[in-house]
Structure 1
Amino acid sequence: MADALPDTPSCAAYDPTLNPGSYGYRPSLAWGLVFTILFVLIAAGQLFHMIRTRAFWTFFFIMGALFEIIGWVGRLASYWCPYSRDCFLMQTASLITGPGWAQAGIYLTLWVVIRSVGRHVSPFPPKTYLAICFCIDLVCLSLQAVGGGLAGAAYSNGTSTQPGTTTMVVGIIAQLTAAVLFSILVGFVIYRGGSALRSNRPLFYMTAATVFATMMMIMRNVYRSIELTEGWRGYLITHEKYVLALDALPMVLAMGIYVIFNPGAQFEKTATAEQQQELAERDQPQKNAVQRYLNL
């Protein structure tokens, strides 16, 4: 249990034989730098696309990346101060909260796809599904925030962290359930709108990115659910390779794919293609008239 750890000066030299620290290991400096830089690049890329395309709804991805940056900065600081409870709680709260913002961005991306392809591809009206998803996401974030606050207070006071941990686990499992249900909706949209998506490359890319990102979010949520169920001194949480491979990497991929196939940029291409098609259809009668005149 985290509350059973001895008090050690925050920036004392790391000695796992005397005190394994809040993590159970000393966070890697190299990996901390790598993931901090990656999330900074993702945030910068999303900000660039948002300003250029004026698709301001993509700010959810920026917020998700910012929380990831804060979390990984906390882990970086923990390399030099391995016994700092503030740094540990900072990274815990941020890395649990950030994915909720990214998930909201994924919901909105599918909403844009449905609006572009047509209402018929969704079993629910787009606004209804979006409202339901946002409500679920808000509840999940609230549970995780409250749980993190309770666990953090208990951790600092040296009391049991179990009530807060349980609340966090409920929030993460609820988020996992929402991601699975959302993936079913994505499959429904692909099934009904397959031909339209195949004929519209930007929409196809947006949908493919959404499928990939959703898979990464499900992987991450499964890991976090199991990790916290084991407790703060469980095997997964005390071995850094798992948080790197099953939390950090999936989040980089889930948000990074939207920098490459940015929803705002892809939607801009779709709108441009539709305008060109509309102009071509409008000019076709005139072209036909000219052709008939030339054939006289």
Structure 2
Amino acid sequence: MADDCSRITYGYVDPNFPRPDTDDSACIIIYGYVPSLAVGLLGVILFVVALGIHLFYLLRYRTWYFSTVVVGLVMEIIGYLFRILASKKNPYAVSYFVAQYFCIVVAPVFFSAAIYTIISVMINIVGRKYAPLSPKVLLWIFIICDVVATAIQITGAALVGTAYSDQKDPTTANNILLAGLAFQVFSFAVFILCFVLFTFKARRVLGRDLKVFSTAILVASLAVYLRTIFRLAETAEGLLEYLSTHEVFFGCLEFLPIVVAVYVLIYWHPGRWLGKGRPCAISQDESTVDHEPK
């Protein structure tokens, strides 16, 4: 392996962090830098705090349809723990790279799924006539889109890690990952459009509280969408290129938007704003049968 690595001419090798002689160690640091310990610790701390609060609200308000946020937060925590391991133990480890990439890339899908349930609940509260499709159909369309996009991304990410570990051309694997991200960017844009159209059509019947809540959910949605666009741009440029090899972009366009989305969903939690008996939900006499997604 040492002889093979001596022939590597492209990629980042940290002169202050000698490559461990293990089968799991790639010849280069796939991140393009040694992951920051500070970012890793901050990620774990912020997401652990958010997990505790979301678990509290989940049990207090029994909003089981919103439990995917908890799953996403657990994945974020695991992903940043692996970045800490890469930072302190072995940044060359392919397993650490794949594990953190898998968790951090897939976790926002669970936040998206939670946001999808919110529009379903709102349609049930405000009225079906304001929505382009039934709440159940909308929910399943976008969940299926996310499942397909995620499956493609997982396949691509795994193949990218394998390609770099085996010193092979990662172009095909990167294109698979790119296809999954492109599909996710498209489907989430369609969701945001549906959400905006729904709230626009229902604007005259929405009470003040529900208008504020809708705006907050749109902010959370746009934060997740910004992160997805960044991942698409990063993958389109290629691994080991400028966007992927400068951690400042990861911090500002991956880490920060997800933190914003998660904490927005804490204060504007649907259990607090869409729960039964919540006043000022609608400003006219609109009937509601159930507050669970249909």
Q: Give yes or no for TM over 0.5.
A: yes
RMSD: 2.5
- The answer on whether the counterparts of 2:174 and 2:235 sit within 8 Å (CA) in structure 1 is yes
Give the distance between the partners of 1:5 and 1:91, measured in 2 at CA.
24
CA distance in 1, matches of 2:171, 2:230: 19
Specify the code of the residue in structure 1 equivalent to 2:162: A
Residue number in structure 1 paired with 2:161: 152
Q: CA deviation at 1:257?
A: 0.5
Q: Deviations over 1:226-284 (max 9, x none)?
A: 1011211110000000000001000111121111111122222x534389x9xxxxxxx
| 2:74 counterpart residue number | 66
CA distance in 1 between counterparts of 2:92 and 2:152 reads 27
Native 8 Å contact 1:29 1:76 kept in 2: yes
**Residues 46 and 58 in structure 1, CA contact (< 8 A), matched pair in contact too:** no
After the TM superposition, which parts of structure 1 deviate over 3 Å for at least 4 consecutive aligned residues?
A: 3-6, 10-13, 272-275
Letter of the 1:250 partner, please give it: P
Q: Deviations over 1:180-220 (max 9, x none)?
A: 111111111111111222x251x334312220011112211
Change (3 A) 1:182 1:5: farther
Once the two structures are TM-superposed, the CA of residue 114 in structure 1 deviates from its matched residue by 1.2
Identify the structure with the greater helix proportion: 1
Query: C-alpha distance in 2, partners of 1:146/1:100?
Result: 15
CA distance in 1, matches of 2:243, 2:224: 18
Summarize the alignment of residues 218-233 of structure 1 with structure 2, pairs less than 5 Å apart.
Answer: 218-233=225-240
Runs of at least 5 residues in structure 2 that lack an aligned partner in the other structure: 20-26, 284-294
Which residue number in structure 1 is paired with residue 265 of structure 2?
258
- What's the counterpart of residue 64 of structure 2? 56
Q: Is the aligned partner of 1:108 residue 2:117? A: yes
Higher RCO (CA 8 Å, separation ≥ 6 residues) = 2
- The 5-angstrom pairing of residues 39-50 of structure 1 reads 39-50=47-58
Structure 2 residue identity aligned to 1:169: L
Does the CA-based 8 Å contact 2:178-2:232 persist in structure 1?
yes
Report the Cα offset of residue 160 of structure 1.
Answer: 2.2
SS in 1 for 2:277: helix
Rounded to whole Å, the distance in 2 between the matches of 1:112 and 1:205 is 16
Partner of 1:163: 172
Return the alpha-carbon distance in structure 1 between the equivalents of residues 184 and 116 of structure 2.
13
The one of 160, 168, 187 equivalent to 1:178 is: 187
Q: Is the 8 A contact 2:14 2:34 kept in 1?
A: no
Residue deviations 1:20-62 (CA, integer Å, cap 9, x gap): 6221111111121111111111111111100111111111111
Indicate if the aligned counterparts of 2:98 and 2:158 stay in contact, CA closer than 8 A.
no
Equivalent residue, structure 2, for 1:82:
91
1:122 & 1:27 partners in 2: Cα distance? 44
CA contact (8 A) 1:179 1:217 kept: no
Residues in 2 aligned to 1:140 and 1:206: alpha-carbon distance in whole angstroms: 28
What displacement does 1:164 show? 1.9
Which one-letter code corresponds to 1:273 in the other structure? Answer: P
SS at match of 1:195: coil
What per-residue deviation string (whole Å, max 9, x for no partner) do you get for residues 77-108 of structure 1? 11112222211111111111111111111111
- Structure 1 residues 153 and 20: alpha-carbon distance in aligned structure 2, compared to 1, 3 A threshold: closer
Cα distance in 2 between the residues matched to 1:106 and 1:120: 20
Equivalent AA in structure 2 for residue 44 of structure 1: G
1:267 — aligned with what? 274
Instruction: Tell me the equivalent position of 1:97.
Output: 106
Letter of the 2:279 partner, please give it.
A
- Whether 1:24 aligns to 2:32 is yes
Give 3-state SS (helix, strand or coil) of 2:78's partner.
Answer: helix
Map of 1:208 onto structure 2: 215
Determine the C-alpha separation between the residues in 2 that align with 1:77 and 1:96.
18
Q: State the 1:153 CA deviation.
A: 2.5
Q: Deviations over 1:6-26 (max 9, x none)?
A: 8xxx9995269xx76221111
The one-letter amino acid paired with 1:115 is N
Aligned-partner Cα distance in 1 for 2:119–2:227: 20
Q: Does 1:14 align with 2:22?
A: no
Aligned counterparts of 1:58 and 1:44: Cα–Cα separation in 2: 14
Matched, 1:134 2:143: yes
Partner residue, 1:283:
none
Asked if the contact 1:110–1:207 (Cα under 8 Å) also holds between the matched residues in 2, the reply is no
- Runs of at least 5 residues in structure 1 that lack an aligned partner in the other structure: 278-296
Shift of 1:171: 0.9
